[in-house]
Amino acid sequence: MKLFNTIFHFEWIQLKRQKTQWISLFVFFIIGCYATYAGHRTIQKQNLVLTKLQQQYNQDHVLTLQKFTDTLTAETKAQAAQAGMAQIINFRMPPLALDHPHALATLSIGQRDVNPYYQKVKSSVNYLDQENVEISNPAQLFAGNFDLAFVLIYLLPLLIITLCYPTYAEEKEQGTYALLSIQASNLTTILNYKLLFRLTVVLGLVLLLNLVGFAVAGQQTVLSLSSAMLWLWLSLAYIAFWFAICYFFLQFKRSSIVTALQLIGAWLFFLILLPSLTNSYISLKHPIPLRASLASYQRHVSEEVWEMKPIVLADSFNRYNPQYNSSINLAKDSTKNGERFIAGYYDLSERKVARFAKHIDQQLVQKNQMAAQLAVINPSIQLQYLFNALAHTGRNDHQNFKQAVSRFQKEWKHHLLRYQLTGTYFTPAELKQLPKFKLENDTNNLSIWMGSLSLWIGTMLFLMLSLMINKKN
C-alpha cells in the first residue's frame, strides 16, 4: 500500500509539472463538450421540426372542424357538405408518424441525420414521395455529424496512447530504470501502478464528460438511470480495452518512439483499416439495391393497373378484402366512377409494388445483419453499434420505424375504406377519435449488456498475451 501511495503521489506531481499533458486533457474535454453541444443542436433541430409538424396537424384539425359549420356562402355550403368525406379527410388531415429522439440521441446521433424520422401517412403508399427527406449539405452528410460517441470511439484512444506510450521508456530515458531494476520484484508492480494512475485520470475525465452529456441530453427528454448507467458501462469497457492494448505493447520494452508508432498502428488498424475491409466485403457480398428501380416499377404498375377493367379491379379487391363485401354494388363497381374501382386500383398496385419492394428490403436486412455480425470482431465498431442501439439511432431502429409506419398505413387505409365504400361521412366527434401512430422501441438493454462482452473479451485477450510476454521476458 505504501508503494501504491508513493507511485500515485509521484505521478500526480509529474502530471502537475507537465503542461503538455494538462493541455491535452483540457483540449480533449473542450472537444467533448463541443461534440455534446453539436449533438444537442442536431437533435434540438429535429425536435423543433416534429413540434412544428404536430402544430400544423392540430391547425389542420381545427380548420377541418370549422368546415362543418361554415355555411355563409354557396361555396362554403358545398364544402361543409363534403367536409366529412373520407377522401377529404385523407387529404386535409393525414396522420403523422413521428420518431421522437431518445435522450441519448444527443450523445450518439447515429443515422438519424440521414434517415427520415417522420412521415405523413396517406391511405395509399407512394414510393416516389420524398417530402419527409430534408435538404442537407452533401459534404456534411458524407462526413457525418460530430457527437460525443465519435469523441469516445475515435479520439479517446489517442488520448490514452498519449498518456501511456512513455510509461516504460521514460524510466530508461531518464536513467531511473537501473535503480528500479535493483528491486526486480517490484519493477512490474511499479509499472502497473503507473498505468493504474493514468487509468484513474482517464476514468475521471470521461466520467466528467459523460455527466456533462447526461445533463445536456436530459434537457430535451427524460434520461432514465438505466440508460445512463449502461452508457457508462460501455465507456468503461472501451477504456479497459485500449489500456489493455497499451499494456500489451509496453511489454516489448521498446523505446517511446517505437511504442508510440506501434500504438498508432493499432489505432489505425481498429478504426480505419479493419472497418474499411469489412465495409468493402459487405458491399461486395450485398450491393446496395437502387431505389430508382422501385420508382420505375411503380410507375409501370400504375399505368398497367389503371388500364384494367373496373369490374376486374373490383373483383380483385373483393377477393383480398372480404370484410367489405356487404357494400358491393355491381352497377357502380363496373364503372371507373365507382369507389371500388379506385380502392381496387390502389390495392392491386400496392400489392404488386410491395412484392418488388420486399425483395429490396430483404437485401438491406441481410446487409445490416452481416454488418452487425462482423462488428463483433472489432470492439470500436461494436461500441458504435451499442451506442446507437442504446440511443435508438441505429439501422435496426430505423427499420423498426419503417415497419411501424407500414402497419399504421394499413390501419389508416382500412379505417377510411369503412366510410369510403359505404358512402358514409365522418362526423366532427369521429374526427377526434382517429387512429394514432404509436412506436414501440424494441431495444433490449440485456442485448446491449451481452454485446459489451466482445469488448471485455478483447480486453482479456490482450491482457493474457501481455502476461505471456511478461513471463517470457
List, as one string, the DSSP characters of 70-115. Answer: --SSHHHHHHHHTTT-HHHHHHH-PPEEE-PPPGGGGT--TTTTTS
Beta-ladder partners of 97: 119
Which residues, other chains included, contact 373 with Cβ-Cβ below 8 Å and sequence gap of 6+?
none
List, as one string, the DSSP characters of 341-354. Answer: HHHHHHHHHHHHHH
- pTM to 2 decimal places: 0.88
**What gap in Å lies between CA 40 and CA 155, rounded to an integer?**
19
Q: What is the mean pLDDT of each run of 10 residues along the chain (473 residues)?
A: 76 80 92 95 94 94 87 79 87 92 93 90 76 53 76 96 83 58 64 89 96 91 89 96 95 88 96 92 82 79 86 87 83 77 87 85 85 90 94 90 92 91 88 89 81 94 90 74
pLDDT of residue 389: 92
**What gap in Å lies between CA 407 and CA 413, rounded to an integer?**
10
The number of CA neighbours under 13 Å toward the Cβ of 185 is 1
Question: What is the Cα 174 distance to its own chain's centre?
Answer: 48
pLDDT of residue 172: 64
pLDDT digits 0-9 by tens, 164-220: 988 876 666 555 655 555 554 567 777 888 899 999 999 999 999 999 999 999 887
pLDDT of residue 169: 67
pLDDT of residue 314: 86
**Residue 222: is it exposed, middle or buried by C-beta count within 10 angstroms (0-12/13-18/19+)?**
exposed
Residue 362, C-alpha cell as written in the block: 430483404
What is the DSSP secondary structure assignment for residue 444, as one 8-state letter?
-
> Phi and psi for 120 in degrees, rounded to 5?
-85, 115
Q: At what angle do helices 379-391 and 453-472 cross, to 10 degrees?
A: 160
pLDDT of residue 3: 72
User: Cell 491535452 belongs to which residue?
Assistant: 24
pLDDT of residue 153: 96
